[in-house]
Amino acid sequence: MNAQAMLLAPWRATHVQLRWLSLAVLTLCALGAIALLLFAKRGEPAWMMVGAYDVGLIYLWAFFLSGMSLLAIEARWLCLPGMYRTAVLATVFYAVLSLLPTAIIAVVHGTDQMSMLLGSLLCVLGGLCFALVPRYIAVFLGIFPALVNTMSRLYNFPLIGDTRFVAWGSTLAMALLVVCVLRWRAVTAKPAQGQMGFSGPMVLQYRRGHWAGGSAINSLDATTQVRQRPDWMQPQPDLRHVGPNQPDNTLRVALGGWYLPRTLRGHLQGLAPGLLAMLVPGSILFLTFLGNHAISFHAWWPLATLLIGWITMFGSMGLMFTTLTLIQQRWKKNNAELPLLALLPGLGDVHTAKQRTLIVALRRPLMLQMGALIALLALTLPSHPSTISVLMLVTGQLSCALALVAGVIRVIGGRPLSTSGTFALMIAISLLIGSNSLLPNSMLGAQPWTPPMPYALTVLAVWLVVSVVLAWVGHRGWLAWKARPHAFMPNG
């Protein structure tokens, strides 16, 4: 048994970007704990510190330390029993080590030691469980705390601080431990290639760099997506209106993804997973709110406004990133759709095909973004909000549309934004949309809230700068698009 190998196992099992991200999250949690200690006026300092640490623990075990199961899978399939043992022992060692800070705080604090330790243990096991269970279950684990919170109100479940928590929490920890052990054995019993589907563990997805940040744009691959989906979730294309006389639909089929024309059954199949995924958190929210406010228009309208406002704003931004990712992916491969389209007769001359491709790539997402803007305005304007609030909302939505146009034209023009450029754009727009997110709800009521002028002007000024940059990026893309011999030249 090599102690050094055991200590280094998490480093060796994870991607370098993920290591940095994990360090950043832990640092943020530590800073959060210190900030809570210094500035919080209510609550126990020890509990606040443990709470902040527990948040970091969940992340660490869900995304970083769970990577040791990847090491175990490879060790098993390369017939390296020593490495497998190292992975198992390292997991146990780091689980015990994870509880040490909580134990120290609990000892210093003097009371609630068991509750504190149990809380941290649940975070360790919960995080590991998230990484090991099948993906279709893992997507719901994120709302598990909210579910427990709601159930505790409805059915009087004991939470931390309750005298019954130790007994209840111990039972839950045992159950999670059993799940973790069983799933570890199941996951390491098969090769990684056979578990990439929807029923495969979450941890295998980390290999593709989704959680590592910068490479997310490059990791989406149509074949991988198709392979990961069960047959019933495959899109059902509608090929009735495809052919030389219907170039737009033809291009939509070739672009695939959410451009793909679908049959009614195909649309329902496409929407079902999303609706099912929203059903659980929606029900929890409904139950929580129902318990607090009963059924009253005055109570529900602000909530509906907040939800619809967020869906339209963040949806518009998500649509832009999803579309950009899809178009980047299509124009990256020189052995996929582009050679087929480039040599397909019936799409018209070079100039016509170029124009049609750009129009098809932009029309649907832009129409949806405009629809979102109209919905947002229809929701908020009846309350007569201030001009500056409306301006902030409109600027945000229009900038998302501008980012979409600039990004798509760059890709089709053969000058796609670099990964770092795309990442910078994602961060800037996410932060700006985040700074607008309080607006829909705050505009309601007899006297709508107006954001302070310095705040509003700062946000608008940043939007303006981002828009100018986007216009410049788009202009260069437009020139490249015009100079390109035809639309279907791969960028890879």
Partner 1 sequence: MNAVLRSITDHDAAPLAVHKLTHGYEDGLVLAGIDLTLLQGSVLGLIGRNGAGKSTLIRAMVGLLKPDSGEARLFGEPALKLSDSVKARLAYVPQQPEALAWLTAQQMFDYVGRFYPSWDASFAKTKLREWGILPNKVLGKLSPGERQRVDLIRALASQPSLLILDEPAAALDPVARRDLLREIALRAGEAGTTVLFSTHIVSDLERVASDIAFLHEGKLLQCAVDETKERFARLWLPASMTAAAPSNTLGKTRHADGSLSLVIERRADGSWPEAARLPGARVDALGLEDLFVEIAG
Q: Which residues bind partner 1 (CB under 8 A)?
A: 222-223, 225-227, 231, 234-235, 237, 239, 242-244, 250, 253-254, 256, 260, 333-340, 342-350, 485-486, 488-490
Helices 45-59 and 113-132 cross at an angle (nearest 10°) of 20
Query: What is the nearest approach in angstroms of partner 1 to the Cβ of residue 270?
Result: 11
Contacts of 392 (CB under 8 A, 6+ apart): 436, 439, 451, 456, 459, 460, 463
Query: What is the nearest approach in angstroms of partner 1 to the Cβ of residue 363?
Result: 20
**What token pair was written down for 381?**
């304007």
- Tell me how far the alpha carbon of residue 386 is from its chain's centroid: 32
Alpha helix segments (H runs only) across 189-263: 216-219, 222-228, 247-255
Query: What is the nearest approach in angstroms of partner 1 to the Cβ of residue 7?
Result: 40
**What token pair was written down for 449?**
């809230």
Give, in order, the Cα–Cα distances in Å from 257 to each of 139, 242, 252. Answer: 21, 16, 9
Nearer to partner 1, 81 or 194 (CB): 194
Query: What is the nearest approach in angstroms of partner 1 to the Cβ of residue 328?
Result: 15
Nearer to partner 1, 101 or 339 (CB): 339
Nearer to partner 1, 85 or 356 (CB): 356
Alpha-carbon distance of 407 to 417, in angstroms, equals 7
Nearer to partner 1, 135 or 332 (CB): 332
Query: What is the nearest approach in angstroms of partner 1 to the Cβ of residue 66?
Result: 28
Q: Comparing C-alpha atoms, which of 144, 111, 151, 107 is closest to residue 129?
A: 144
Nearer to partner 1, 233 or 453 (CB): 233
Contacts of 40 (CB under 8 A, 6+ apart): 48
Nearer to partner 1, 112 or 238 (CB): 238
- Tell me how far the alpha carbon of residue 253 is from its chain's centroid: 26
Alpha helix segments (H runs only) across 189-296: 216-219, 222-228, 247-255, 264-293
Query: What is the nearest approach in angstroms of partner 1 to the Cβ of residue 254?
Result: 7
Query: What is the nearest approach in angstroms of partner 1 to the Cβ of residue 214?
Result: 21
Nearer to partner 1, 165 or 331 (CB): 331
Nearer to partner 1, 208 or 486 (CB): 486
Query: What is the nearest approach in angstroms of partner 1 to the Cβ of residue 336?
Result: 4
Helices 68-77 and 165-188 cross at an angle (nearest 10°) of 30
